[in-house]
Amino acid sequence: MRGNAQFEDVIREHQAFVFRTLARLTGSREHLEDLAQEVFLRLYRGMDSFRGDAKLTTYLYRITLNVAQDEWKRRRKEQAHTSFDDPDENWSDRLAHTSGDAEQFLSRKQGMAALERAIGELSEIERQVIILFHQEDLPYEKIAEVLSIPLNTVRTHLHRGRKKLKERLREGRPACVTMA
């Protein structure tokens, strides 16, 4: 890759994926721009070793997952318990939602927030597989290539991750009220 313009094109092409994945993997909107910047700077420093677009996206996925992992570990050390009843909790950081009436709006928000919390309780590999499969629509083969794991292992982690999510969501029903 040569020149600012080409790198800028690469950023524009992939920035949405990077921001989305970082948001889901870290469970927060804090410092997203800084994290995304770190992802692309790491990509830029490693650009000389690429030989084609296929490897670029694979490497970008890996960098994004690594940056999210580092951030996740950092936050786990600092994180205090958050509560739905916490008056200081900023719900604008949660997933946006097209509004219905107030009760349904709150229920859906709680359901999605409960899902994000449940995703945070998965193992790192399960979280990565689920996000790459569902959110980014990557096929099993691509996920296996990105994570450097066998194809069947991808399927196993996906199955286990979904199972755990359902269990967590059901366990958390009294807290999240409804699953809308």
Of the candidate residues 31, 37, 72, 106, the single one contacting another protein (CB under 8 A): 37
Task: Give the binding range for another protein (CB under 8 A) out of 1-9, 57-65, 68-76, 143-151.
Answer: 1-9
Name the region of 31 (left: φ>0; alpha: ψ -120 to 50; beta: rest): left
Separation between Cα atoms, residue 3 and residue 44, nearest integer Å: 11
Task: Give the binding range for another protein (CB under 8 A) out of 22-30, 53-61, 82-90, 138-146.
Answer: 22-30
Assess contact for 21 and 136: CB atoms under 8 A: yes
Residues within the interface to another protein (CB under 8 A): 3-5, 7-9, 11-12, 15-16, 19-20, 23-24, 29, 32-33, 36-37, 40-41, 44-45, 95-96, 98, 100, 103-105, 107-108, 111-112, 115, 130-131, 134-135, 162, 165-166, 169-170, 173, 178-180
